[in-house]
Amino acid sequence: MNARFVHTNLVARDWRALAAFYQRVFGCRLVPPERDYRGPALDAGTGLTGAHLTGVHLRLPGCGDSGPTLEIFSYDALLENPPAAVNRPGFGHIAFETGDVGEARAEVLASGGRAVGDVVSLTTSAGSRVTWCYVRDPEGNLIELQMWDRPPGLSFQHAEEDRPGPEGAPLSYFP
């Protein structure tokens, strides 16, 4: 298989408000057109009856004009689910690298988000230091905010192979 990552879908209660949050806070850019799908093909593809979804794709910052998107859709009929948790199996969070985690956290909170934990820093065995925290967007989805400080001569690739996890344990998913 020859594959390329293209998007992550986020089902929202209010796709317009959530898309505006990601555009305002993280600089995501709208990729037209707005989507408005219903009919037999959508029903067949989703396995739902009478499905109707609306929403948009947002280009993620730092990924260029052909990079992956965050797809934010709302269905007319939504199922309730338990709140996202950092240790629940499945997709856990979306992460953004920023120049100042504290300032980014304050902006998320001022824009309707909520704090999950404290801003902390960890050091990898290769000497890279990451400052990070988890926050929630206005609909409760988890976001990681991070800032890396790498020692001179340490390539990004090497740092990627030695990411710190909680308590300093290397975890491949931890950016």
Q: Is residue 86 part of a domain?
A: no
Could you report the per-residue pLDDT of 138-171, keeping only the tens digit for each? 999 999 999 988 766 654 443 444 444 444 433 3
Q: Is residue 109 part of a domain?
A: yes
The pLDDT of residue 125 = 76
Q: What is the span of the domain harbouring residue 106?
A: 94-165
HSE toward the beta carbon, residue 38, CA cutoff 13 A:
11
The pLDDT of residue 28 = 97
The number of angstroms, rounded, from the C-alpha of 9 to the middle of its chain's C-alpha atoms is 10
115 shares its domain with 57 = no
User: How many structural domains are present in the chain?
Assistant: 2
The pLDDT of residue 153 = 60
Q: Is residue 170 part of a domain?
A: no
Q: Is residue 17 part of a domain?
A: yes
| CATH code (residue 135) | 3.10.180.10
- Does the pLDDT value for residue 66 go beyond 60? yes
Spatial separation of the C-alpha atoms in residues 46 and 37, rounded to whole Å: 11
Q: Is residue 1 part of a domain?
A: no
Q: Is residue 175 part of a domain?
A: no
157 shares its domain with 98 = yes
Could you report the per-residue pLDDT of 98-124, keeping only the tens digit for each? 999 999 999 999 999 999 999 999 887
The pLDDT of residue 128 = 85
Q: Is the preceding omega at residue 33 within 30 degrees of 0, hence cis?
A: yes
Query: What share of the chain in percent tops pLDDT 90?
Result: 66
Q: Is residue 110 part of a domain?
A: yes
21 shares its domain with 57 = yes
The pLDDT of residue 127 = 82
Could you report the per-residue pLDDT of 85-98, keeping only the tens digit for each? 888 877 789 999 99
98 shares its domain with 71 = no
Q: Is residue 43 part of a domain?
A: yes
Give the mean model confidence (pLDDT) for residues 71-97.
Answer: 88
Could you report the per-residue pLDDT of 9-47, keeping only the tens digit for each? 999 999 999 999 999 999 999 999 999 999 999 999 999
